[in-house]
Chains A and B, each alone.
Chain A
Amino acid sequence: MVGKEAPKVRTLSCPSCGAPLTVRGLLQTESIGCGACGAILDLTDENLQVISTFQTKTRLQPLIPLGTRGKLLGDLLEVIGYMRRKVTVEGVDYEWSEYLLFNPYKGFRWLSEYNGHWTFIHTLTERPEGITAPSFLNRTFRHFQTSTARVTYALGEFFWRVQAGETARVEDYVSPPYLLSREKSEKEIVWSLGQYIDPEVIRSSFALKTAMPPRIGVYSCQPSPHGASASAVYRMLAWFLLAAVVIHAVVGLLSQNKLVYRADFSYRPTSGEKSFVTDVFDLPGRTSNVVVRTHADVSNSWMYLSLALINQDTGQAYDFGREISYYSGTDSDGSWSEGSRDDDAVVPSVPAGRYYLRIEPENAGDNVSYAVRVYRDVPRWSFFVLAVVALLVFPGLLFSRQRYFEIQRWAESDHPIVTFSSGDDDD
């Protein structure tokens, strides 16, 4: 098994049914379960006294047959025992398999399988620090569940005298991919550490020909599939946000934000031609935006401005319209107002040059005074805000998926993140 030494086994006959039994645990096992009749025999007794008998008529076949050897996490181990245990929570039975593994130099290990999830477990010789949130391996573990586990089936050898239906109080604490368990029986308290193992690792380690059972749900110590990459994405998000702030600040510092034209006008509906053009003004610097800022003294009224920013030399025009409206009053809820007397129109990517505005005002027929200010190269927040939102979308989705994974993990614990009330509660 290990080194050049051939495995030492001895063969016995079950005194209860006569079925052959193979003892692989050298002198380190104390009991053996007969798969044929369900009897548990005392290996320390030369007459193989029957300690206990499982009454179940179902003879379970472990997925990893007894005697199978494999190298798991660096240790060569042989499957010598198999048992089924279950807990009952709120009337529901949760049952799982445990395989006892043996190496004469390393001792015993366990493999636990529940709903297709595998955990490799070894007994601790030192007690973790802390009680409610024990620490081990520089990790703090969170309490997951406390339950009473009962042995429902046993096959092969065990290092203690297994009893049918024997119970132990089990406290599980998790820090994925690790699971810390405290088992308290009548005789002792045992701490053990489990590590989540991918089913394919189990299959390849033991060279299993059969398909592994599919994983159902999320196991208590199953690492989140998004864990490592999510941390990297969140770190990256922080850098991206910082970069966005720096870029926005630098562009803001480089911006001219220069007032290039200002004028005040009065609109008289009785006058003839309403449209007019302004004086020519310079738009200096690089291709950038132009903000046409207007203020109109409208009150419970509106004003519409047809505007065209026209390049005097090239004849290129940027044509747009703006409505300014402001209404206010009082009602049973008090005073109210809607709209604004101010408006900003941002004309994008306007090349440098000499420009003028053509303005054509409209309104309901009132005399209105209004002011027009033209600014060149004005820093704006809109693309910064859009960029921040765009940067947050991906991490947000990732966070949601992580959160959903954790909700599933803790759903079967004593501390579910989300609790669902049944329909009966509504009555």
Chain B
Amino acid sequence: MVRTYLMLGLLVLGTMTYAEYRGLSLMRYDEVKNVPKDIRNNPGAYRGLYQRYYFHK
């Protein structure tokens, strides 16, 4: 029992340390790769995945 809790505690602390150091978050988001650079000139051409998810799902 003590060993189990020791392992569990170390795992929790390790996860917490990693999550805090790397700035993890529970926020829902989408990652999009290779967004064309001309989006800066024509922002309306970009349709984010999250926008579609939010309005149409």
Contacts and interface: CB of A to CB of B under 8 A. Distances in A.
Main secondary structure of the interface of A (DSSP, over half): mixed
B1 A308 contact: no
A321 B51 contact: yes
A380 B49 CA distance: 26
A349 B23 contact: yes
Given A236-B6, A247-B20, A315-B35, A320 B29 contact: yes
B17 A251 contact: yes
Interface in A217-272: 226, 229, 232-233, 236-237, 240, 243-244, 247-248, 251, 254
A276 B2 CA distance: 57
Interface size class of A (residues with CB under 8 A): 35 or more
A319 interface: yes
B24 A317 contact: no
Interface stretch (A151-159, A206-214, A334-342, A381-389): A381-389
A346 B36 contact: no
A250 B1 CA distance: 30
B21 to A, nearest CB: 6
Most interface-central of B27, B30, B32 (chain A CB within 10 A): B27
A148 B24 CA distance: 66
Contact of B9 (A240, A304, A312): A240
Interface size class of B (residues with CB under 8 A): 35 or more
Contacts of A349: 22-24
B56 interface: no
Contacts of B16: 244, 247-248, 383-384, 386-387
Main secondary structure of the interface of B (DSSP, over half): helix
Contacts of A382: 25-26
Contacts of B43: 273, 275-277, 358, 360
A377 interface: yes
Given A240-B9, A275-B43, A316-B35, A379 B20 contact: yes
B49 to A, nearest CB: 5
A315 B24 contact: no
Nearest to B28: A320
Nearest to B24: A348
A273 B46 CA distance: 12
Given A321-B51, A380-B25, A275 B44 contact: yes
A287 B23 contact: yes
Given A287-B22, A306-B48, A347 B29 contact: yes
A319 B25 contact: no
Contacts of B21: 251, 254, 286, 288
B27 A275 contact: no
A412 to B, nearest CB: 27
Interface in B3-51: 4-6, 8-9, 12-13, 15-17, 19-37, 39-40, 43-44, 46, 48-51
Contacts of B49: 319
A319 B22 contact: no
A233 B37 contact: no
Contacts of B19: 383
A274 B5 CA distance: 54
A94 interface: no
Nearest to B30: A319
A194 B45 CA distance: 85
15 contacts: A232-B2, A244-B16, A247-B20, A273-B44, A288-B21, A308-B46, A315-B34, A315-B35, A316-B33, A319-B30, A319-B31, A380-B20, A383-B15, A387-B13, A398-B1
